[in-house]
Structures are given as C-alpha cells and as structure tokens.
C-alpha cells in the first residue's frame, strides 16, 4: 500500500522551530499593542479578550451572586465625610473586608472602587509613596463615595492566603486572581446598590497589583465608567505576583491590549520614571490612544508621569482627583490634597476584637464550595455552552487553514478509503507499529498519523521554568489538542467525515479535540476508561481550567450530542 508523505508546513528538523518552543514569553518579555484598522475588528477582539479574562479567572460561567449580607458598622464622623468598617460575603462563607468613605452631604454621588497593591499593610498602608486612606478621605470630602477593599489574603480578608497555586487548584481555575476579580465584581455590586451612589458614575483606581485589578475589572464589567490604573500598564512587565497571573490570562494578549479594551470611556494612565511604566508617555499611551481614535474619542484617554519610584503618592493621587472631577463633577472646582484620613487600626480593621461570622469557611471549604458550584453549573449547561467553555479552557481554535495555528505538524498519510486520524502518544513511528494501525491498513482504511506537540520528531527543548509560564503559554497538552484540530481540519478540507482513534494517553487529546471541533467528529471511548480524578489529570492530561469547564464528562456529553 502506497505511503504518501504530506507536509502541513515544514518537517522534522524544521519542526524544532515551532514557535511554541522557541517563543515562551513571561511577565518580563517585552510586549506591544497595535490597534486594528477598524472598530468591527476591535469589537470582536475585545469580546474575545473579555471571555479569555473571565475564563482564566474561573468566572465562566459567572458564579451565582449570592446575598452579600453586608456588615457596615463602626461609623466615624470626620470633617465632611464618614468612615465605616465593611464586610461583604462575596461567596457563601467567604468575607471581603474594607472601609467605606461617604460624603456628609446628602444626594446621589459618584463612587470609586479602590483596590490596593502589594504594600505591606494593604489598604491600611500609610507612607509617602502610598496612602489609600488619604485618597479615600480626600475624595469623600469632595463628594465621592469610596470603597477601599482588600486583596485576597490581606488584612481582614485572610480566609485564604494571598499566594497559593498547584496543579489541582489550576484544573479548577481556583486562583488568587480569580478570587480577587470576583471580589471586585461583588464590591461593585455593593457600591452600586448604596442609596447615595449614582450607578452611572462609578470609577476604579488602584496602583501596582491594584492597577491590575483596575484594568481587569474595567475590561469585564461594563458598569465601570472611568478607569485610572496607576503604575501598572506597561509593555516591560506584566505583573509579578501570582494574583496577577492566572493560567491562560495572557496567551496571545498583554496588559496594554487589555487596558485598551476600555475605549472609548475615560481612562487616566499614571506612570513613574522609576518603574516599568517609564515608557508610558511615548509607547503605551500612544498605542492605547489609537484604540480611542477608532471611536473618534482620543481626548478620553490621558497619561501623566512623575519622576518617582513605584508609587501612588500625593502627585499621582492629585492627578486622579482632577481626572475624576473633570469627568464626574465638572461643576466643582479643582482641589489639592489634605494630608489626613489616617485612622487608628482598631477603628478601621473589620475583625478587630470581633470574630468572623460562625458560618465562615476555611480555605479548604472555600475550595470545596468552588468545585461544587462548578459541577452544578456543568449539569445545568447545554452542549453548546459546554463546547464553548472547553474551547476557552483548552485555548484552542479551529484553524483557518490546516497549518495556521501552532506551527508545523509532522504527519504521514496512508491512502485508503474512509480515512481516520490515528493518535499514538509516542507519535508516528510508534503508531506505524501499532496493531490497530496495521488492522486499519489491512481493511483498506486511510490513516493520518501525526507527531503531536512534543512527541516523536516534534520533541524539542521548551523552557517552562518561569513561575508564570502558563499565564502566557499553553500547556503541552493544550498544544497537542490544537495539533489534533489542525489534523482534523486537513481531513475535513479533503471532504472526509471525521473520525479519531487513539491509544494510551493520546485518547485524552482525541476526546477533547473531538469535543472542541465545530464539526462532528466520531470518537468512541467508554467513559469508564477515563480516570477523571484531579490527581490523574494533573499528571496525565494537564489543562488549567479543564475541570472548571466540565472535564471529561462535558467532553463526552458534547461529542454524544453532536454525533446524534
């Protein structure tokens, strides 16, 4: 039987140039953004980025918004404003702490969410380079409602650590970034619900890690009307903490592009000469302004820079005050900062001499509840919903052309009737010696074989050493599923009905490629043959977010429905 060697692009030695091996970006890899030529293209890209952010955060689908049960107490009367302690039950048994600053005057006020960065004392930091309470007090005195709230693992929000990660957590998209973005969404729910807040005038501002939360929330929640990320939007560094680097967040994306999704609403970029935002006036700001140009609104984005180290100091705060005033309360006069707002710790700490509510959950219980809700959402989902969630978790696409994604895929095709894609975990040569492939040849079937990513001749060095590697790069198994989809696309273009057969661990690639494909793919495998425990998946078929998206059960259900 004649063997025809077919190439999708290059073969063997050339496959070592696969971009997934040669380009493994990390948080310190220089990044850039060029706005597309038209709004239609940008709107499509913006929607895709929103889905990517939410999926990486474990928020696809969005968790149930259970009652916040706000605890608001300990009011302090100050000159022109009040300060209160606040605790919000953002998930069942999980409490977010913060302080609420409100103007003394009655009426509907604009509001500001204030996530903090990685300063030692979080929202209670008080030093020349950063003082969140000073910002909140000055804005409240000038007619703004401000909610200054914790990052996960800081101050009053300590039911989880700030830094946690392992493969099992990642399978469920249970990450500090996801918890923090969810807390920001619920903080927005809270502040928008207050009687004294105008829900059409809600802003968010934060520095450093709080700047990351600022542009992430602004990208995914349309209720934010003004954004002021401070000392964070940069092409030089994308965020150093685990709370800024969930797996999948920046595959093919970067913080400049994410910040630009806020166009055409007002945004102020605050930068410093002494950190990674040193190029903002000449590089990042013009790139983002080009997205505003698409809407004819270049004046809605501004940038300021101060000769300073990393900060949210008085000069930076005053720039934000003026930007907020100009867009939210233009009838009022500009103002300078008063150096007050710092309270005693016992007057601002939520749980000072006060226990957490009796039903507050431990870290392990919070994770268990996260998994239980995900399972309920999978059971309630349609096959179409499951397919989309799996595609997002797998970070795969149906190629526009067979070789358009991921790089060249070494393959070999055995001519015959009713071709089948056969997958072997060790690649083409091992498949040729497989009894199953020999049986297919004996039956006159056509057989397509591939060396999927990092198998057979496709093995090559790949630097996976960076802690945040998965934020910017697909896992090996995600890349293998993409290669299977490329092979399926090739068969599909030849007019064939699609079928996959596989052995060993390659059955995982087959299962999820068949589920993610937009056309019917026949793949028969008894569900009982798949070990779907977290530990097995973490060791054998590792895809962050896979269990959150429904795992093998969702894939089998999707395949069953599409092949009916």
Q: How far is CA 364 from the centre of its chain?
A: 23
Distance from the first to the final alpha carbon of the chain: 34
Instruction: Report the run of H or E that residue 363 belongs to, with start and end.
Output: helix 363-380
For residue 6, what pLDDT band results from cuts at 50, 70 and 90?
very low
Domain interval for residue 404: 3-30+382-562
Phi (first) and psi of residue 562, to 5 degrees: -75, -15
Neighbour-count burial of 455, counting CB atoms closer than 10 A to its CB (0-12 exposed, 13-18 middle, 19+ buried): buried
Q: Are 406 and 479 in contact (CB under 8 A)?
A: yes
* 508 belongs to a structural domain: yes
Of 371, 391, 418, the residue at which a domain comes to its end is 371
Query: Which CATH number do you get for residue 513?
Result: 3.40.50
Same domain, 534 and 443: yes
Same domain, 23 and 122: no
115 DSSP 8-state letter = E
pLDDT at 9: 34
* E-only strand ranges, 254-334: 267-274, 301-309
Q: Peptide bond before 61: cis, by omega within 30 degrees of 0?
A: yes
Instruction: Report the run of H or E that residue 55 belongs to, with start and end.
Output: helix 39-56
Same domain, 410 and 285: no
Q: State pLDDT tens for residues 64-89.
A: 999 999 999 999 999 999 999 999 99
Mean pLDDT on 411-425: 96
* 495 belongs to a structural domain: yes
DSSP 496-527: PPEEEEE-TTHHHHHHHHHHH-SS-EE----G
For residue 339, what pLDDT band results from cuts at 50, 70 and 90?
confident
Q: Are 284 and 234 in contact (CB under 8 A)?
A: yes
Mean pLDDT on 526-546: 89
Phi (first) and psi of residue 3, to 5 degrees: -100, 125
For residue 530, what pLDDT band results from cuts at 50, 70 and 90?
confident
d(CA 395, CA 479): 9
* 376 belongs to a structural domain: no
Of 371, 396, 427, the residue at which a domain comes to its end is 371
* 55 belongs to a structural domain: no
Of 318, 338, 371, the residue at which a domain comes to its end is 371
pLDDT at 12: 39
* 309 belongs to a structural domain: yes
Structure tokens, 523:
């793949």
* Domains of the chain: total: 2
* 45 belongs to a structural domain: no
Same domain, 363 and 387: no
Same domain, 142 and 96: yes
Rg (CA), the chain: 26
Give CA separation, 520 vs 452, 558, 559, in Å: 21, 10, 8
Same domain, 14 and 153: no
Same domain, 259 and 366: yes
Q: What is the largest CA-CA distance in the chain?
A: 90
Q: Are 179 and 283 in contact (CB under 8 A)?
A: no
For residue 402, what pLDDT band results from cuts at 50, 70 and 90?
low
Phi (first) and psi of residue 170, to 5 degrees: -65, -35
Same domain, 358 and 427: no
d(CA 298, CA 232): 21
Structure tokens, 116:
């903090």
Phi (first) and psi of residue 175, to 5 degrees: -140, 160
Same domain, 73 and 131: yes
Same domain, 267 and 388: no
Phi (first) and psi of residue 280, to 5 degrees: -55, -50
Q: State pLDDT tens for residues 135-152.
A: 999 999 999 999 999 999
* 144 belongs to a structural domain: yes
Query: Which CATH number do you get for residue 222?
Result: 3.40.50.1820
Query: Quick check: 433 pLDDT over 70?
Result: yes
Same domain, 325 and 461: no
Share of the chain above pLDDT 70, in %: 95
Please calculate the CA angle 520-522-523 and round it to the nearest 5 degrees. 130
Structure tokens, 380:
């309630």
For residue 452, what pLDDT band results from cuts at 50, 70 and 90?
very high
Same domain, 172 and 194: yes
pLDDT at 359: 97
Higher pLDDT, 186 or 353: 186
* 36 belongs to a structural domain: no
Neighbour-count burial of 27, counting CB atoms closer than 10 A to its CB (0-12 exposed, 13-18 middle, 19+ buried): buried
């Amino acid at each position: 039987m004649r063997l025809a060697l077919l190439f999708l692009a290059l073969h063997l030695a050339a496959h070592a140039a696969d971009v997934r091996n040669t380009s493994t970006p990390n948080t310190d890899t220089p990044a850039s953004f060029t706005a597309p030529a038209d709004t239609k293209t940008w709107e499509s890209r913006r929607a895709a980025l929103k889905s990517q952010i939410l999926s990486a955060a474990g928020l696809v689908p969005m968790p149930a918004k259970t009652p916040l049960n706000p605890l608001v107490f300990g009011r302090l009367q100050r000159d022109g404003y009040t300060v209160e302690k606040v605790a919000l039950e953002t998930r069942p048994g999980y409490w977010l702490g913060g302080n609420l600053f409100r103007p003394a005057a009655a009426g509907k006020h604009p509001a500001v969410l204030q996530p903090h960065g990685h300063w030692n004392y979080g929202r209670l930091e008080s030093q020349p380079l950063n003082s969140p309470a000073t910002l909140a007090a000055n804005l409240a005195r000038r007619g703004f409602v401000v909610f200054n709230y914790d990052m996960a693992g800081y101050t009053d929000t300590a039911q989880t650590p700030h830094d946690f990660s392992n493969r099992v957590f990642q399978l469920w998209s249970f990450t500090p970034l996801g918890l923090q973005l969810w807390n920001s969404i619920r903080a927005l729910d809270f502040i928008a619900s207050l009687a004294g807040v105008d829900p059409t005038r809600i802003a968010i501002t934060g520095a450093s890690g709080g700047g990351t939360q600022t542009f992430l929330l602004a990208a995914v929640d349309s209720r934010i009307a003004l954004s002021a990320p401070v000392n964070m939007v940069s092409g030089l560094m994308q965020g150093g903490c685990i709370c800024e680097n969930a797996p999948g967040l920046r595959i093919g994306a970067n913080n400049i592009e994410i910040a630009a999704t806020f166009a055409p609403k007002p945004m102020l970029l605050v930068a410093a000469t002494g950190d990674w935002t040193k190029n903002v006036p000449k590089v990042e700001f013009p790139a983002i302004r080009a997205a505003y140009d698409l809407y004819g609104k270049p004046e809605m984005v501004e940038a300021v820079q101060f000769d300073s180290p990393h900060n949210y100091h008085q000069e930076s705060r005053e720039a934000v005050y003026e930007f907020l005033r100009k867009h939210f309360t233009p009838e009022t006069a500009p103002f300078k900062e008063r150096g007050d707002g710092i309270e005693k710790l016992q007057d601002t700490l939520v749980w000072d001499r006060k226990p957490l509510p009796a039903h507050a959950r431990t870290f392990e219980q919070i994770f268990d509840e996260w998994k239980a809700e995900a399972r309920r959402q999978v059971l309630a989902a349609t096959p179409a919903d499951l397919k989309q969630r799996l595609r997002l978790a797998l970070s795969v696409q149906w190629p526009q052309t067979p070789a358009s994604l991921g790089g060249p895929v070494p393959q070999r095709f055995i001519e015959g009737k009713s071709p089948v894609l056969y997958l072997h975990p060790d690649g083409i040569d091992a498949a040729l010696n497989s009894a199953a492939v020999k049986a297919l040849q004996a039956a006159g079937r056509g057989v397509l074989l591939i060396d999927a990513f990092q198998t057979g001749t496709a093995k090559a060095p790949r630097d996976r050493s960076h802690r945040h590697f998965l934020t910017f790069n697909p896992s090996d198994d995600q890349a293998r599923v993409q290669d299977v989809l490329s092979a399926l696309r090739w068969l599909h273009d030849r007019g064939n009905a699609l079928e996959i057969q596989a052995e060993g661990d390659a059955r995982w690639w087959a299962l999820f490629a068949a589920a993610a494909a937009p056309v019917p793919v026949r793949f028969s495998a008894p569900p009982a043959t798949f070990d779907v425990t977290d530990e097995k998946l973490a060791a054998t078929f590792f895809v962050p977010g896979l269990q959150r998206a429904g795992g093998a059960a969702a894939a089998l259900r999707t395949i069953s429905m599409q092949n009916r």
